[in-house]
């Protein structure tokens, strides 16, 4: 029996050897000492005796015995050799009582290289075993700017917490996201229970993922696993049926391909509209009955009641705008109280069952629920009002608020008599930092001595501090809560005795945003965008040039300031000027955009630093209120 097993393994070795030779590849095991110069290492660390994944055993430590094995660790020598007899004996031992003595390996860059125990590895690989016991010494590489090196250093930190070798990623930040998914912060030790759960769930996923052709997608199994559990609970990998998991993987195939392309979200800066047809074509369309004339059923899904939230009320006005513009060509409906931790998936499903072909999920927190619904119903167009989605199954949309914040900064800088201005921000998420910097640059353009005092409403109460007494000009939220009206919104001046003078505010015309999106669907430019950006996430990020964003100023604004603001607005409308084409300095003294070129949308979108005239910082996740942390994780860089 054992010699038959050796002969079968030898056939696998011969096959792998020939395949490697035909491809011009090295047919034997690689030896770590052959390709790792000592000067490239930063030391060694003994890890201990642990169970290591067999698929990560990649070669030998030294050149000795490597020619006895093909590059798949199967034996190459004849079955008449002493080597074959020893291999067969190990095979019998494994079947009878298991191979108990640990092998000795060196680990480098998440791969293991055998110092003692090559035949044991070969036997267990032939039996398709998953793990092997090993004494592990890690060889630590020197730090470099190479992506794989940076990811490896993140892995070492993760291993210190979780003691798990199985998972490897191809993108930075993934180990921290994985830890968050299991309820752990970086530096927090995992329990044995959590460690066992992750291993079990990952191995279950990996087996099914590979059976579904995962090796053909240019991402690691770890990348796919993390993307999967962001949408579907990890515990279902153990309790759910294999057919259900296979079904989910089939739905997610395009998302895996998008992830594998490693392209950033396509930020669409202007709405794509078709030219108006000639009068003759328009008549023909009416006679033949164009699809554009069919009534579209559109659902708006809100987290709260539209009358209890300034944010929801603004979007409710947008929904009403759609009905005014398109009349009977559209039928809209609202679904309220879709809380992302509770019933949001059921409410989206109800909207689909009601026959809605287009769904706008207004809270950014519903992005994952939106993606799950879109995967289940690819015929439904689902859009989420947020700024950071990596999924091509849905589209996201938002206004380029930094443009209006720049103009408000210009006004604030011109009107401040103390050179001290307050800025009350909400959440440290993508695009918010750009808003703060644009405001600071606008103020600095008209007043080089001005300081912006930054405060965050989402920070824990005990960490919040009041603005200095000499701050009289303040920027606060753009929207007014219809149930709790206040004068403290937009840019205002505190006059004393609690009196407030409103100066200017940003207005994002959500109705215009929705109108442009619906027109793109009616005119089929939606479909053209799909074909043009296959397997790529799309985010609409429209601004002043699209007519969806403006500022409204008080009539008391000085004429010269109003003239300057109007001039800058017109230049931005024509796309002749951008706030971030200025040269400016960060808080750490680094000069940004010294060449005076326009920053790319991605650079603006994901700013994580503040302008030099901003006094304050970007809060860490632990400094935020508990109720906002999940939202910030979804929409921010944490």
Q: Could you list the mean pLDDT of each consecutive 10-residue stretch along the chain, which spans 638 residues? A: 88 94 93 87 94 94 87 93 93 87 95 95 93 96 94 96 94 92 91 93 92 90 94 83 90 89 84 61 44 82 84 92 95 87 86 97 91 94 89 94 97 96 92 95 96 94 92 86 68 87 94 96 88 85 95 93 96 93 92 84 90 95 85 70
Q: Which residues contact 290 (CB under 8 A, 6 or more apart)?
A: none
Identify the helix (H) or strand (E) that includes residue 20. Answer: helix 2-23
What distances in angstroms separate CA 462 from CA 72, 422, 631, one per listed residue?
59, 19, 21
CA distance 617 to 575: 31
Q: Give the per-residue pLDDT at 486.
A: 65
Q: Give the per-residue pLDDT at 287.
A: 41
Q: Give the per-residue pLDDT at 281.
A: 46
Q: Which residues contact 274 (CB under 8 A, 6 or more apart)?
A: 523, 524, 525
CA Rg value for the chain:
30
pLDDT per residue as tens digits for the range 307-350: 778 889 899 999 999 999 999 999 999 999 887 666 889 999 99
What distances in angstroms separate CA 76 from CA 36, 80, 108, 127, 515, one per listed residue?
25, 12, 26, 17, 68
* Beta strands, E only, 4-110: 30-31, 41-53, 57-60, 103-108
User: Pick from 87, 101, 61: which is nearest to 7 by CA?
Assistant: 87
Q: Give the per-residue pLDDT at 638.
A: 53
Q: Give the per-residue pLDDT at 487.
A: 67
**pTM score of the predicted model:** 0.84
Q: Which residues contact 364 (CB under 8 A, 6 or more apart)?
A: 384, 385, 386, 387, 631, 634, 635
CA distance 588 to 609: 9
The pair of three-digit structure tokens given for residue 230, joined into one six-digit string = 């962001």
pLDDT per residue as tens digits for the range 63-93: 877 789 999 999 999 989 999 999 999 999 9
Q: Which residues pair with 624 in a beta bridge?
A: 459
Q: Give the per-residue pLDDT at 106.
A: 97
Q: Give the per-residue pLDDT at 304.
A: 82
User: Pick from 311, 274, 271, 294: which is nearest to 517 by CA?
Assistant: 271
Q: Give the per-residue pLDDT at 286.
A: 44
Is the Cβ–Cβ distance between 390 and 396 less than 8 Å? no
CA distance 210 to 256: 13
The pair of three-digit structure tokens given for residue 198, joined into one six-digit string = 């992750």
Is the Cβ–Cβ distance between 456 and 423 less than 8 Å? no
Q: Give the per-residue pLDDT at 532.
A: 83
567 phi-psi bin (left φ>0, alpha ψ -120 to 50, beta other): alpha
The pair of three-digit structure tokens given for residue 214, joined into one six-digit string = 């995962």
Q: Give the per-residue pLDDT at 132.
A: 94
């Amino acid at each position: 029996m054992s010699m038959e097993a050796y002969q079968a393994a030898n056939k696998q070795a011969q096959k792998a050897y020939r395949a490697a030779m035909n491809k011009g590849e090295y047919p034997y095991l690689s030896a770590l000492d052959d390709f790792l110069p000592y000067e490239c290492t930063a030391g060694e660390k003994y890890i201990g005796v642990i169970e290591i994944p067999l698929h990560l055993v990649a070669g030998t430590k030294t050149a000795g015995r490597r020619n006895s094995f093909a590059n798949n660790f199967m034996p190459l020598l004849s079955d008449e050799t002493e080597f074959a007899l020893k291999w067969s004996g190990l095979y019998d031992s494994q079947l009878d009582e298991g191979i108990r003595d640990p092998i000795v390996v060196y680990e480098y860059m998440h791969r293991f290289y055998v110092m003692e125990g090559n035949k044991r590895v070969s036997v267990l690989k032939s039996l398709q075993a998953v793990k092997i016991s090993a004494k592990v010494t890690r060889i630590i590489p020197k730090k470099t700017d190479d992506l794989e090196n940076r990811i490896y250093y993140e892995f070492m930190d993760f291993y210190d917490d979780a003691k798990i070798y199985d998972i490897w990623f191809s993108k930075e930040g993934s180990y921290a996201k994985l830890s968050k998914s299991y309820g752990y912060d970086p530096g927090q030790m995992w329990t044995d229970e959590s460690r066992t759960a992750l291993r079990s769930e990952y191995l279950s996923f990996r087996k099914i993922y590979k059976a579904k052709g995962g090796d053909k997608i240019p991402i690691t199994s770890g990348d796919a696993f993390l993307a999967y559990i962001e949408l579907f609970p990890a515990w279902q990998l153990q309790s759910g049926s294999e057919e259900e998991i296979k079904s989910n993987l089939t739905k997610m195939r395009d998302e895996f391909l998008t992830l594998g392309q490693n392209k950033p979200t396509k930020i669409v800066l202007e709405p794509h509209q078709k030219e108006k047809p000639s009068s003759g074509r328009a008549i023909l369309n009416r006679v033949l009955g164009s699809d554009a004339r069919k009534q579209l059923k559109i659902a708006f899904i809100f987290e709260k009641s539209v009358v209890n939230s300034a944010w929801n009320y603004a979007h409710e006005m947008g929904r009403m705008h759609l009905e005014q513009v398109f009349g009977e060509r559209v039928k809209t409906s609202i679904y309220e109280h879709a809380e992302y931790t509770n019933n949001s998936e059921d409410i989206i499903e109800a909207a689909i069952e009601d026959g809605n072909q287009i769904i706008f999920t207004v809270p950014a927190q519903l992005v994952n629920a939106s993606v799950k619904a879109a995967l289940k119903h690819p015929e439904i167009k689902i859009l989420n009002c947020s700024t950071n989605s990596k999924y091509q199954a849905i589209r996201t949309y938002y206004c380029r608020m930094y443009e209006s914040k720049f103009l408000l900064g210009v006004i604030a800088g011109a009107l401040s008599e103390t050179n001290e201005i307050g800025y009350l921000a909400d959440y440290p998420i993508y695009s918010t930092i750009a808003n703060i910097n644009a405001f600071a640059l606008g103020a600095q353009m008209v007043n080089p001595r001005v300081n912006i005092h930054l405060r965050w409403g989402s920070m824990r109460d005990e960490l919040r501090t009041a603005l200095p007494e000499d701050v009289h000009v303040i920027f606060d939220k753009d929207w007014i809560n219809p149930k709790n009206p206040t004068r403290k919104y937009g840019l205002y001046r505190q006059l004393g005795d609690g009196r407030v003078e409103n100066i200017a505010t940003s207005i994002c015309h959500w109705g215009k945003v929705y109108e442009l999106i619906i027109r793109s669907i009616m005119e089929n430019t939606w479909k053209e965008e799909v074909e043009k950006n296959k397997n790529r996430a799309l985010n609409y990020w429209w601004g002043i040039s699209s007519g969806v964003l403006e500022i409204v100023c008080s009539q008391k604004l000085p004429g010269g300031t109003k003239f300057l603001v109007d001039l800058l607005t017109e230049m931005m409308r024509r796309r002749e000027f951008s706030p971030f084409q200025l040269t400016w300095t960060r808080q750490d003294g680094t000069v940004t955009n010294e060449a005076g070129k326009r920053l790319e949308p991605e650079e603006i979108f994901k700013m994580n630093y503040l302008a030099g005239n901003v006094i304050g910082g970007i809060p860490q996740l632990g400094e935020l209120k508990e109720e906002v942390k999940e939202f910030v994780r979804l929409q921010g860089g944490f």
